A = this chain, B = another copy of it.
Amino acid sequence: MDTGFTIDQSFIAQENERALPDLERDYSMLSAQLERRGIAIEAITKNVQKFAVAVPSWGVGTGGTRFARFAGEGEPRNVFDKLVDCAMIHRLTRATPRVALHIPWDKPEDPRVLRQFADSLHIGFDAMNSNTFQDQPGQALSYKFGSLTHADRSVRKLAINHNIECIKIGNELGSKSLSVWIGDGGNFPGQIDFRTSLERYLESAREIYASLPDDWQLFIEYKLYEPAFYSTVINDWGTAYYVAEQLGSKASCLVDLGHHAPNVNIEMIVARLLQFGRLGGFHFNDSKYGDDDLDAGSIKPFQLFLIFHELVQESLRSTRQSPPPTYMIDQSHNVTDPIESLINTVEELQRAYAQALLVNREELSFYQERNDAIMALKTLKRAFTTDVSPILGMARQRNDGAIDPLHVFRLSQYRKWKIAERPVATTTTTGIV
């Protein structure tokens, strides 16, 4: 399998060389500042170097809305092209070692071949994502009215089997988890019986759970609405938590930042699920209105920081009952080059993570115990307003990534090469309004 054009490590190194003097100056300045605050910059940088988040295979293609999809040029044509793009993001950022696949979009003819190809690109596989919210050509039964909760047992069985198949494929690829998101629900009052549909969900989920290897996790993803516009079966964290409790210790909840009602305090949901030992997975993105799937950190960066504050806090506890949550990106890149958006997203996640690492937790606790709200807030804000860019650049440089990955990406003309290598995708419209 040919990867076509890639960005050479030497090219990255050469650009890093140019950028390093300024970076070192900024880094040492920041180091001095942090030292005054009692923070050793090296510990932070080392943690940032270890940060990893999975990229979604579907994220390297251009996304769209129900109104239109405006394809970009040089888009990946198949799962191999997608892996090439993902590997390139990892080479530049050194923070995306794994790819989350989506079945059937990325269904490999032979998983072993796919795994070998990934190995050759030095990337692995993260959570498998099943799809029972669309009908595939030639599919015997339709998911129009639901999948795991469909009134018809044979449709449920089809959806269950598809999930079991995803586990099998994933197992061959080295994945360790399955994310289950269904669109099941109703558009109108009366369409769905709330109780029956949840009972059916549990019955179906139990069958999937039974097929789960011992070292796998099952992530239950909830979402307030869309595609169902009145009621959704797995609609909030409370329901996902209930389901996970019913299923067993390998089941947990998946938080997608765009799946909540307006105004909801998401960092608190994160804290709750961590406290209850049921936070399994994370879908990073950002949004202003609904499930907008924008680039993480582009709309509400302070919220992202507060979420990482909870995640870091939990990671410091000695009494953890559950594995750390799996970080994934789930975005729809409609107006940007998807690779550029993903590079940028990784940087924003690392930024929020680094800022969260800067929080003086002893002081914070001190103020909390004294009801000193203003100083508690300032403690968080002090960390948030610190410009951690030098830490991010240094972490990447030390990991052999690019100090300024977006710059290097553009400079490399990667996209131009891919436009030549990959036949132009026709601009298609959904024809749906």
Check if A151 sits within 8 Å of B332, measured CB to CB: no
Q: Which of A172-203 contact B (CB under 8 A)?
A: 183, 186-196, 198
Cβ-defined partner of A427 (8 Å) among B135, B145, B267: B135
Q: Which residues of chain B are within 8 angstroms of A297 by Cβ–Cβ distance?
A: 381
Q: Which residues of chain B are within 8 angstroms of A143 by Cβ–Cβ distance?
A: 68, 70
Cβ-defined partner of A368 (8 Å) among B137, B193, B260: B193
Given the known interface contacts A236-B238, A265-B230, A386-B387, the answer about A374 and B344 at a Cβ–Cβ threshold of 8 Å is yes
Interface status of A422 (Cβ within 8 A of chain B): no
Q: How far is the CA of A156 from the CA of B357 in the complex (A)?
A: 32
Q: Min CB distance, A88 to chain B, in Å?
A: 16
Check if A368 sits within 8 Å of B191, measured CB to CB: yes
Q: Which residue of B lies closest to A190 (CB)?
A: B376
Q: How far is the CA of A186 from the CA of B431 in the complex (A)?
A: 22
Interface status of A406 (Cβ within 8 A of chain B): yes
Interface status of A341 (Cβ within 8 A of chain B): yes
Interface status of A161 (Cβ within 8 A of chain B): no
Q: How far is the CA of A300 from the CA of B335 in the complex (A)?
A: 25
Q: How far is the CA of A368 from the CA of B188 in the complex (A)?
A: 11
Check if B262 sits within 8 Å of A263, measured CB to CB: yes
Check if A26 sits within 8 Å of B33, measured CB to CB: yes
Q: Which residue of B lies closest to A361 (CB)?
A: B193
Contact with B along A356-388 (1 / 0, CB 8 A): 000000001101111101101111110011110
Interface status of A126 (Cβ within 8 A of chain B): no
Cβ-defined partner of A292 (8 Å) among B36, B144, B229, B368: B229
Q: Which residues of chain B are within 8 angstroms of A378 by Cβ–Cβ distance?
A: 344, 406
Given the known interface contacts A335-B187, A369-B151, A406-B374, the answer about A430 and B433 at a Cβ–Cβ threshold of 8 Å is no
Q: Which residue of B lies closest to A387 (CB)?
A: B387
Q: Min CB distance, A271 to chain B, in Å?
A: 4
Q: Which residue of B lies closest to A265 (CB)?
A: B231
Interface status of A111 (Cβ within 8 A of chain B): no
Cβ-defined partner of A189 (8 Å) among B230, B299, B344, B370: B299
Contact with B along A259-302 (1 / 0, CB 8 A): 01111110110011011100000000001111011110111111
Interface residues, chain A, CB within 8 Å of chain B?
A: 22, 25-26, 29, 32-33, 36, 58, 63-70, 102, 105, 133-137, 139, 142-145, 151, 183, 186-196, 198, 224-227, 229-231, 235-239, 241-242, 260-265, 267-268, 271-272, 274-276, 287-290, 292-295, 297-302, 306, 310, 332, 334-337, 340-341, 344, 348, 351, 364-365, 367-371, 373-374, 376-381, 384-387, 389, 406, 426-427, 429-433
Contacts A188-B335, A192-B368, A261-B261 aside, 20 further interface pairs with beta carbons under 8 A come to A22-B36, A68-B133, A70-B144, A145-B335, A151-B371, A190-B367, A191-B377, A194-B275, A198-B272, A225-B289, A227-B334, A229-B289, A229-B294, A230-B299, A231-B265, A235-B265, A235-B268, A238-B238, A239-B272, A430-B432
